[in-house]
Amino acid sequence: MIAALIASRSERLSTGLLEARAWHSLGAVLAVNLALVLFTNQYTLRNFPNSGDEYAYLVSATLFSEGKLSVASPEPAAPFSLNHVLNDGRFYGKYPPGWPALLSLGVLFGLPWLVNPCLGALTLYLIHRIGRENFSLRGANAAVYVTLGNPFFVFNTASYFSHASCLCFLALAVLFLFRGVQASSPAADQIGLGLAAGMAFSIRPYTAVAFLLPLALWYATSKDRSETWPSWTRKQALALGGFLLPFLFFLGYNKLQTGSPWVQPFNRYDPKEMETLSVLGHDWRPAWRLLLERIGELMIWVPLSLAFIPLYFLGKETRWNPKGPLLAVASLTLLVAYFFYSFHGGIRYGPRYIYEASLGLIVISGAALSQLRSWPLHVLAAVLLMNGGLFWSATRHHHRQVRETMAVYDRVREKGITRGVVFLKTGGGIMGPEDLARNGIHFSDQPVLYVRDLGDASNLSVLENFPGRPAYTYAYDSARHEAVLSPYQAAPASP
């Protein structure tokens, strides 16, 4: 009797949640997730670019906001060298231009930290829209519920990484692509598809190609029987035309920075970087281990997501819908593509190289979850508990990590230093000195400069080029978790 009563109430509650009006379900998840993203950005990550990658994006965005592609390297250049930033006479970030261009809008308004949260909110709307238009309201609601408090989504959206923006444009491309295969779809869908795909490419080219390739092949071969060949050709041409605009932007940026539209600053920064894209001729075992590790991480960071794929094919309303398998193939293609990129990723919030695979997995999870005949609320509760537990763990870990990383900036502020040069003998925590300096692009105007300690000859050269500044030495003891900032003293000259 009690069990039947509990089952009845559970069924009513799950029905109420899954069949809630779109703006009720979406609005609630948007509000909670946006609050968590802002909390994570301001409290956990302290609005700090928590990796060299993130800071390189911010460097490029600052340049773009001032209408520049680069500035002259400071003299001497070596102590100012940073990971992921070219410093070869010109100083600029190595990454593609799409995300820095978007981030520059935030820089212009003094709110760069707000760009990714806005894109994250738009992504949630697009996920719900994809689910509602191609599956059901229940599936759309379940999909956004799966993201509630999800640390994979929250931390990447709270960061300065490019993944959140790439995911947003991939979601927009998927929405337009599924609309565009219909014979009656307007031209705006085709152009929107091309523009969104092109923007994703200009942000993360390798990721965009890997994810969109199976979808593009399906789109190109999905001619409706009632559709004429001229109409089909026009659709393909409009999509291609939309793609060309951001693609030409990408090529033009490369041309201006490297002299060749086909050579990215990424390649000029480290010509050997592309070797990481192949395990041929190398030991395959580390790559296989990394692939299996990423699969396991996906099951945790997008809880139970891979298990929902077979469940999708058991659902009465979903088993014959080809869009779920297409999204699964796109996500798995991205996973396989990064098998050939056998690098783990340093500071990261989950398996971030395959973050964009979460798009397909989330939509499929929602569609499958909505089709469960029994215990959908219990399964959803398990997903949310996994989200909450991992979010709490990640928050504690990264808050401590950022505190160690930012110790040098905290010590400078505590000592009231408003002008000077800080020589970094070490970095902070797990971040080396080659990742830690945050000097902007106007070095002479920076009140406090943070440069690598490369020895007295280099240090004295820095002080000669930036005269009148008190000098300090910084070192962090990771074993004792102690940060020491002391006045700089050059070693006495040999007699």
Question: Among 391-400, 411-420, 426-435, where is mean pLDDT lowest?
Answer: 426-435
pLDDT band (50, 70, 90) for residue 374: low
Residue 115 · residue 105 · CB < 8 Å: yes
pLDDT at residue 15 in the model: 64
pLDDT band (50, 70, 90) for residue 480: confident
Q: Would you say residue 48 has pLDDT above 90?
A: yes
Sign of the torsion angle spanned by Cα atoms 112, 114, 118, 121: positive
Q: Stretch 113-140: mean pLDDT, rounded? A: 96
pLDDT at residue 370 in the model: 86
Closest by CA to 454, choosing from 403, 488, 430, 413, is 488
Residues contacting residue 266 through CB under 8 Å, at least 6 positions apart: 94, 95, 96, 273
Rg (CA), the chain: 25
Q: Would you say residue 263 has pLDDT above 50?
A: yes
pLDDT at residue 133 in the model: 95
pLDDT at residue 438 in the model: 93
pLDDT at residue 311 in the model: 87
Residues contacting residue 263 through CB under 8 Å, at least 6 positions apart: 254
CA–CA gap between residue 154 and residue 479 (Å, rounded): 30
Element (H, E) at 422: strand 420-424
Residue 43 · residue 396 · CB < 8 Å: no
Q: Stretch 459-471: mean pLDDT, rounded? A: 95
Q: Would you say residue 6 has pLDDT above 50?
A: no
Does this model's pTM top 0.85? My answer is: yes
pLDDT at residue 163 in the model: 97
pLDDT at residue 191 in the model: 96
pLDDT at residue 184 in the model: 78
Where b means 16+ CB within 10 Å and e means fewer, 158-193 reads: bbbbbbbbbbbbbbbbbbbbbbbbeeebeeebbbbb
Residue 144 · residue 29 · CB < 8 Å: yes
Q: Stretch 407-418: mean pLDDT, rounded? A: 95
CA angle, 439 then 442 then 447, to 5°: 60
CA–CA gap between residue 333 and residue 292 (Å, rounded): 14
Encode pLDDT of 159-174 as tens digits. Answer: 999 999 999 999 999 9
Q: Which residue has the higher pLDDT, 140 or 2?
A: 140
Q: Stretch 99-113: mean pLDDT, rounded? A: 97
Cα 158 to chain center, whole Å? 9
Question: Among 190-194, 290-294, 305-309, where is mean pLDDT lowest?
Answer: 290-294
pLDDT at residue 335 in the model: 92
pLDDT at residue 284 in the model: 58
pLDDT at residue 13 in the model: 56
CA–CA gap between residue 137 and residue 418 (Å, rounded): 56
Q: Stretch 293-319: mean pLDDT, rounded? A: 87
Angle of helix 151-158 versus helix 115-134 axis, rounded to 10: 140
Name the residue type at position 103: L
Q: Which residue has the higher pLDDT, 200 or 377?
A: 200
pLDDT band (50, 70, 90) for residue 140: very high
Place of tokens 């590790």: 293
Q: Which residue has the higher pLDDT, 339 or 152?
A: 152
Q: Would you say residue 257 has pLDDT above 70?
A: yes
DSSP state of 44: I
pLDDT band (50, 70, 90) for residue 294: confident
Q: Stretch 194-212: mean pLDDT, rounded? A: 97
Both tokens of 229, joined, read: 């060949």
Residue 18 · residue 49 · CB < 8 Å: no
pLDDT band (50, 70, 90) for residue 7: very low
- Report the Cα–Cα distance between both ends of the chain, in Å, rounded: 95
Instruction: State the average pLDDT for the chain.
Output: 89
CA–CA gap between residue 266 and residue 258 (Å, rounded): 10
CA–CA gap between residue 424 and residue 32 (Å, rounded): 39
Q: Which residue has the higher pLDDT, 281 or 492?
A: 492
Q: Stretch 35-56: mean pLDDT, rounded? A: 95
| For the chain, the helix, strand and coil percentages under 3-state DSSP, each to the nearest 5 | 65, 5, 30
CA–CA gap between residue 351 and residue 68 (Å, rounded): 33
